[in-house]
Amino acid sequence: MRIFLRFVVLSCLVCLSATPILGAEKESVDRIVAAGREQSQVMDHLDMLTNRIGPRLTSSDNLQTACEWARDRFKSFGIENARLEQWGEFPIGFNRGPWSGRMVEPVQKALTFGTNSWTAGTKGVVRGKAVLAPENEEGLAKIKDLLPGAWVLLPAGGSGRAPGAGGEFRKALDAAYETAKVAGFVRSTRGDLILTAGNFKISWDKLPTVPSINLLKVQFDELAGLLKEGKPVELEFDIRNYFKKGPIPLYNVIADIPGTEFPDEYVIVGGHIDSWDGATGATDNGTGCATTLEAARVLMKSGIKPRRTIRFMLWSGEEQGLLGSRAYVKAHPELTKKISAVLVHDGGTNYLSGIGVTKAMRKDIDEVFSSVLTLDEKMPFAIREVSGLRGGGSDHASFLSAGVPGFFWGQAGKANYTHTHHTQYDTYDTAIADYQRHSSVVTALGAHGIANLDHLLSRDGMISAGGTPGNRRLLGVQLDELTIVEVVDGGVAAKAGIRAGDVLVKVGDKTVSSREEFSAAIQAGEPSKKIVVKRDGKEIELPATFPANPPAPAPAKP
């Protein structure tokens, strides 16, 4: 997957002299708040997405079901123009069924594990002996007769099928695995989180055929320990992963509340409807989809007639590189100058706690969110003044790259987003209902307020001295933990000589142990860096140069 960092910032509450809300505007705000607090349906939306539809991997049948359901849900609120808009297609579809595994010898024990998306299943129950991957020719000779039908254990940090192996030995080892027809490979996670990723760029003629399992570290260590003691270990796995011949059409969900005075100008509210499929995609990003849907319901129920069109969007393909939102921006260049703001909720279940704005926007945003400042003292809201809008790993960045004001909400609360983000714990029960209800109202009030301004939000100063909106250093790779799965043609990694199978070790002199640490390291400091990777058992230093940020444009003339 692409390397993204999502920043969840808890800012100090800014004491503002709020603009008074008078007359009809106060009545509208009161109706929105009442509609959002009375018989909220936000958790019903989330329940449907996560518990009844389930995970929504891009290219899966579940994603298509979710898109059609969301379209029909918008229509049930009275938004008759709700529709699906195709943005592209994937060559192969992938659907995940149930999976289970256990150690059957020397003792019986259930195993906790996952597999990446677009990887092979077992085609039924497969039982076989466990063997530790050898580190040299001598080790291979000792286990060669054990390999047929075996589950091969690969330690964390290993590159491909041959951790620590040199070039010629690695080729020999790969050949031995293929000849023996091993049952599959078992890798250790780096802790108690089982992360799901995957590479969708596969072909029907060369589908993955050998399962690759990510086993909970404590259990992997137990299995490896038994084997090192000379005790025979037998494992059994049943993994129902299925491929579907493409092309698979992919869609964004769009629904509009038309504007009464400026119908061709827009405020966009949204989140991404796709998810990884190691769990049910609750906090990434069922929660953001649920608040988007609920904001639409609340505004329709309150009878509000916005001056500008409020467009609700649920993008797909976000987890594979913001594909749905990027395609939308590219397909509709005529809209970029007419979009006042894009509000994206994609930071989990914590309540919406603030927004970062430029100096030129500040007065308008103070007015828009004046009602939010007193909405709930237990969930304070802060407006932060920033030197320029920033992108990052969610769909607002697609709009920022086209010069459209895109906002990623600040969030705060008691939920631990890292614990659920792309992990086995991303399930409905981790969502906090009070936060979800509150965030739905904040979203509705923000959309309503921006839509009713006398003018579009100012774009002056939207680009900071550091570069273009949404500018981030991207290596141009897809990762499985710190192992390179794919290198994008023409990207920084390709130019540096980084290859698929390399394991990221250092940026400069800083050792990195997670994707987050690696992403932070490449963002910091000068654009030229040395990247240290492990390849064929050796550490290799490669020079990488990221594009320099262009200078900020001169301020617009009045």
pLDDT band at 558 (very low <50, low <70, confident <90, very high): very low
Which pLDDT does position 484 carry in this prediction? 83
Residue 207 reports pLDDT greater than 50: yes
Which pLDDT does position 550 carry in this prediction? 39
Task: Confirm whether 303 is domain-assigned.
Answer: yes
234 with 263, same domain?
no
Average pLDDT over residues 390-409: 92
Which pLDDT does position 546 carry in this prediction? 81
458-490 pLDDT tens trace: 999 987 644 445 456 778 776 666 788 667 666
The residue out of 215, 246, 277 marking a domain boundary is 246
Length of the chain: 558
**CA 51 – CA 69 distance, rounded (Å):** 14
198 with 327, same domain?
no
Domain that residue 491 falls in: 477-545
Task: Confirm whether 412 is domain-assigned.
Answer: yes
Q: What is the chain's mean pLDDT, rounded? A: 89
427 with 348, same domain?
yes
20-56 pLDDT tens trace: 444 568 899 999 999 999 999 999 999 999 999 999 9
83-107 pLDDT tens trace: 999 999 999 999 999 999 999 999 9
Which pLDDT does position 466 carry in this prediction? 46
What percentage of the chain carries pLDDT values higher than 90? 74
CATH of residue 365's domain is: 3.40.630.10
272 with 402, same domain?
yes
156 with 230, same domain?
yes
Which pLDDT does position 486 carry in this prediction? 67
User: CB atoms < 10 A from the CB of 86, how many?
Assistant: 12
**CA 481 – CA 50 distance, rounded (Å):** 25
**CA 186 – CA 184 distance, rounded (Å):** 7
136-169 pLDDT tens trace: 999 999 999 999 999 999 976 544 455 455 578 8
Pairing of strands 125-132, 151-154: parallel
Average pLDDT over residues 275-293: 98
Residue 239 reports pLDDT greater than 80: yes
**CA 220 – CA 233 distance, rounded (Å):** 12
Lowest-pLDDT choice from 47-56, 173-182, 430-439:
173-182
107 with 220, same domain?
yes
User: CB atoms < 10 A from the CB of 511, how many?
Assistant: 12
Task: Confirm whether 8 is domain-assigned.
Answer: no
320 with 404, same domain?
yes
**CA 119 – CA 187 distance, rounded (Å):** 14
**CA 336 – CA 330 distance, rounded (Å):** 10
Which pLDDT does position 264 carry in this prediction? 98
Number of structural domains found in the chain: 3
10-21 pLDDT tens trace: 333 333 334 444
Which pLDDT does position 463 carry in this prediction? 76
What percentage of the chain carries pLDDT values higher than 70? 88
Which pLDDT does position 16 carry in this prediction? 37
Helix axes 23-37, 433-451, angle to 10 degrees: 150
What are φ and ψ of residue 189, in 5° steps? -75, 170
Average pLDDT over residues 415-419: 95
263 with 321, same domain?
yes
Average pLDDT over residues 197-226: 96
Which pLDDT does position 522 carry in this prediction? 87
